[in-house]
C-alpha cells in the first residue's frame, strides 16, 4: 500500500445548477463507473492501495478496508460512505494489482441527487463550478463526432482456424469427461489513425447499451474501458446480489427467443454457472434466493440468459458481514469466465489460449469504507493504449458445442464492442488485411 500522511475527506451535496457531463468530467485520466442507477466519477489519486499478491493473496480485502478506514470524513450525516476505492483487477488472481482512491469523487444517483467528495483539502466554495471547470478541461462528450472517420484496421492475434482448433480440443476433453465447461477467449487489436476520443466513446457506449455498466479504469496496460452486462456481485449492508450470464444468441424474433430458451446446450451452460455461484454464496448467507428459470437479458446485438441471485449475508464472529471485495475474492473467477472444474479449466485456458487475458474477464468496480460496493465482469471491453484498442471475446464450451457456432459467437461479441469504437464500420477477422 502506498503510504503517506493521514488523509481527510469532505463530502457535500451539490447545489442545483448546470448539468455535469460525467464523461467529459472524467476526461482521459479519470475513473468512471456508471451502472445506470449509480454514476461515479473519480479524478486524481489521493491513495493507491497495492495488492502485491493479487486478489488471491491472504488478507487482500482486509488490507483495502484498513486503508479506507484511515481516511476521516466530514459528510454532514449523508447516507453511505464517501470514501471509495476503484479497481480493474486482472483475470489471474495471482497478478499484482492496485485500487485507487480518487482525490475528487462525483456521485449521482438515479433520482438526480449529486454529491462531491474532496480528499486532502476542503471542498470548494462553489463545488459545481469547480466540477464544471474540470469538465471543460477534460472535454465535452456531447460535442464530439460519431466516431472515427478514417479507416481502422483489425488485426487478429490468432487466426479463425486456430480458434476452431482450440474449441475442437476443448470439446474432446469434455467428451472424455475431463471437463464440464471451459471458457475460451481470443483477442484482436483494432488500430486507429489517432487515439480514440474517450469521453465521446463512453457516451456512445452508454447510448448503445443502456442496460450495461459503462466503465473506464486505469491499468498497467493502458485504459480499460467497456460496457459490461454482467454483475459479478454487489453488496449493500447485509444484502448481496449477483447476476451471472451464460448462454448467448443474436438478437432475433420471438421464435428465436423461444428456441434460445429451449436450447439444452445454453440452459446447461447457464445452470453450471448459477449452481457454482449459489454454492459459493450459500455458506455466507442466512437466506439465498435462486430463481428456477433464467430471464432474457437483451443487449444491442445479442441476448443472454441471466439469473439474479439475491441473499442476506450472515455476520461472522466479529459481527461483520463480508465486504464487497471479500465476495469478489470468493466468487472470481466464476464458470461464466473460467469453467468447471475450475482448476482444470484454468490450466486448459493457460494451455490453449495464445495470449494472456490481462484485465479481460477480471472484476471491475469499487468498494467503500463501509464494505459496500459493486463489481462487474470486465467483458465487452477494450484496453486502450495510444492508437490501439485490444479486444477479447470468450465463449463457454460445453458438451454439444460446435466450433463453427462458437466462432460466430466471438464475432458477435467483438462486434458489440467494435460498434462503439468505430460506429458504421464493419468488423471482420478475415485474413485480407482487415481494413474497414
60 neighbors 121 (Cβ within 8 angstroms) = no
Cell of residue 302, nine digits: 445479442
368 neighbors 84 (Cβ within 8 angstroms) = yes
Phi and psi for 197 in degrees, rounded to 5? Answer: -80, 105
Residue 371 DSSP class: S
169 neighbors 352 (Cβ within 8 angstroms) = yes
Give the Cα-Cα-Cα angle 61, 65, 66 (nearest 5 degrees): 115
364 neighbors 87 (Cβ within 8 angstroms) = yes
301 neighbors 274 (Cβ within 8 angstroms) = no
206 neighbors 214 (Cβ within 8 angstroms) = yes
Cell of residue 177, nine digits: 469427461
CB atoms within 10 A of CB 404: 10
Whether residue 181 lies in the annotated active site = yes
Q: Which of 103, 230, 353, 374 is catalytic?
A: 230
Rounded to whole angstroms, the maximal C-alpha distance in the chain is 68
Give strand pairing partners of 383. 224, 390
Q: Which of 95, 114, 181, 374 is catalytic?
A: 181
Distance CA 35, CA 205 (A): 12
Distance CA 328, CA 378 (A): 13
Contacts of 41 (CB under 8 A, 6+ apart): 22, 25, 26, 30, 31, 32, 105, 106, 107
Whether residue 74 lies in the annotated active site = no
Long-range contacts of 25-29 (CB under 8 A, 24+ apart): 25/106, 25/131, 25/134, 25/135, 25/138, 26/138, 26/198, 26/199, 26/202, 26/216, 27/134, 27/137, 27/138, 27/139, 27/198, 27/199, 28/138, 28/198, 28/199, 28/223, 29/218
Distance CA 24, CA 27 (A): 5
Active site residues per annotation: 181, 230
Amino acid at each position: 500500500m502506498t503510504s503517506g500522511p493521514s488523509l481527510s475527506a469532505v463530502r457535500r451535496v451539490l447545489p442545483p445548477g448546470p448539468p455535469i457531463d460525467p464523461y467529459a468530467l472524467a476526461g482521459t485520466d479519470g475513473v468512471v463507473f456508471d451502472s445506470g442507477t449509480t454514476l461515479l466519477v473519480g479524478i486524481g489519486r489521493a491513495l493507491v492501495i497495492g495488492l502485491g499478491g493479487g486478489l488471491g493473496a491472504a488478507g487482500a480485502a482486509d488490507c483495502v478496508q484498513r486503508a479506507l478506514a484511515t481516511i476521516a470524513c466530514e459528510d454532514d450525516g449523508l447516507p453511505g460512505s464517501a470514501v471509495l476505492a476503484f479497481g480493474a483487477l486482472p483475470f489471474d488472481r495471482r497478478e499484482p494489482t492496485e485500487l485507487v482512491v480518487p482525490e475528487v469523487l462525483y456521485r449521482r444517483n438515479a433520482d438526480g441527487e449529486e454529491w462531491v467528495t474532496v480528499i486532502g483539502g476542503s471542498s470548494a466554495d462553489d463545488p459545481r463550478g469547480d466540477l464544471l471547470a474540470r469538465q471543460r478541461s477534460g472535454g465535452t462528450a456531447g460535442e464530439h463526432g460519431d466516431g472515427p472517420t478514417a479507416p481502422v484496421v483489425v488485426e487478429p492475434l490468432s487466426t479463425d482456424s486456430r480458434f476452431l482448433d482450440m474449441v475442437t480440443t476443448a470439446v474432446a476433453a469434455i467428451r472424455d469427461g475431463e471437463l464440464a465447461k471451459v471458457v475460451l477467449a481470443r483477442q484482436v487489436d483494432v488500430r486507429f489513425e489517432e487515439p480514440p476520443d474517450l469521453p465521446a466513446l463512453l457516451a456512445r457506449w452508454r447510448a448503445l447499451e443502456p442496460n450495461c455498466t459503462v466503465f473506464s479504469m486505469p491499468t498497467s496496460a493502458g485504459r480499460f474501458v467497456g460496457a459490461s452486462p454482467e454483475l459479478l456481485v454487489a453488496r449493500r449492508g447485509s444484502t448481496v446480489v449477483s447476476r451471472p450470464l451464460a448462454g448467448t444468441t443474436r438478437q432475433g424474433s420471438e421464435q428465436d427467443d423461444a428456441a434460445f430458451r429451449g436450447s439444452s446446450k445454453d440452459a446447461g451452460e447457464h445452470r453450471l454457472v448459477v449452481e457454482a455461484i449459489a454454492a459459493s454464496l450459500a455458506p455466507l448467507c442466512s437466506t439465498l434466493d435462486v430463481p428456477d428459470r433464467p430471464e432474457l437479458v437483451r443487449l444491442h446485438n445479442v441476448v443472454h440468459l441471466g439469473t439474479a441471485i439475491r441473499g442476506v449475508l450472515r455476520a461472522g464472529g466479529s459481527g461483520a458481514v463480508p465486504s464487497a471485495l471479500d465476495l469478489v475474492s470468493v466468487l472470481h473467477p466464476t464458470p461464466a469466465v473460467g469453467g468447471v472444474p475450475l482448476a482444470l479449466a484454468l490450466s486448459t485456458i493457460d494451455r490453449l489460449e495464445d495470449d494472456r487475458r490481462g484485465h479481460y474477464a477480471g472484476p471491475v468496480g469499487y468498494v467503500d469504507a463501509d464494505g459496500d460496493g459493486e463489481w462487474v465482469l470486465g467483458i465487452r471491453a477494450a484496453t486502450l493504449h495510444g492508437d490501439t484498442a485490444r479486444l477479447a471475446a470468450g465463449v463457454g464450451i460445453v458438451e454439444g458445442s460446435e466450433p463453427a457456432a462458437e466462432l460466430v459467437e466471438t464475432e458477435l461479441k467483438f462486434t458489440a464492442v467494435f460498434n462503439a469504437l468505430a460506429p458504421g464500420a464493419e468488423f471482420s477477422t478475415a485474413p485480407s488485411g482487415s481494413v474497414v
